[in-house]
Amino acid sequence: MPAAQDLLILRPMLVLACWTLLVLLLVPWVRWRAMRRHGLDWDDFRHGESLRVPPEARVPNRAVMNLLEIPVLFYVVCLGVALAGRTDAWALRLAWAYVALRLLHSLIHLGYNRVTHRLAVFAASNVVLGAMLVRLLWQLR
């Protein structure tokens, strides 16, 4: 059983998981609104989104997918840190930095959606995740 200190790494994981669920709740809401406003029907969402679906109704679905792709590695690294008993101040700083960057990425995506800003934040989050992984690998050598 991991020590209480090691379980602190679960907090940023839970924040990101809750954020993912909140963004997921946007998907049916924007799809329903698009159906009412643009005369769409359920078949327009059969394979994701048809070309008839307006861009503003596509973005939340893509934002959810972004939160379910690379962040899976974050969850794995955090669990590895906890199970290995390697939770320290640096592990927590990096984990919280990753979560903050992923939240910012989603807010940009769901907000004004400037690709260059999104890309910069996405790249920064991947650097942080890479640092977390390399650090854990180094500690387990």
Neighbour count for residue 38 (Cβ, 10 Å) = 12
pTM of the model: 0.93
pLDDT one-digit tens code per residue, 46-71: 887 778 899 888 999 999 999 999 99
Contact of 36 with 120, CB cutoff 8 Å? no
Q: Which two tokens stand for residue 40?
A: 């769409």
Query: Which domains are assigned to the chain?
Result: 4-139 (1.20.120.550)
Length of the chain counted residue by residue:
141
Q: Is the pLDDT of residue 77 over 80?
A: yes
Decide: 68 and 105 in contact? Cβ < 8 Å.
Answer: no
Q: What is the DSSP letter of 113?
A: -
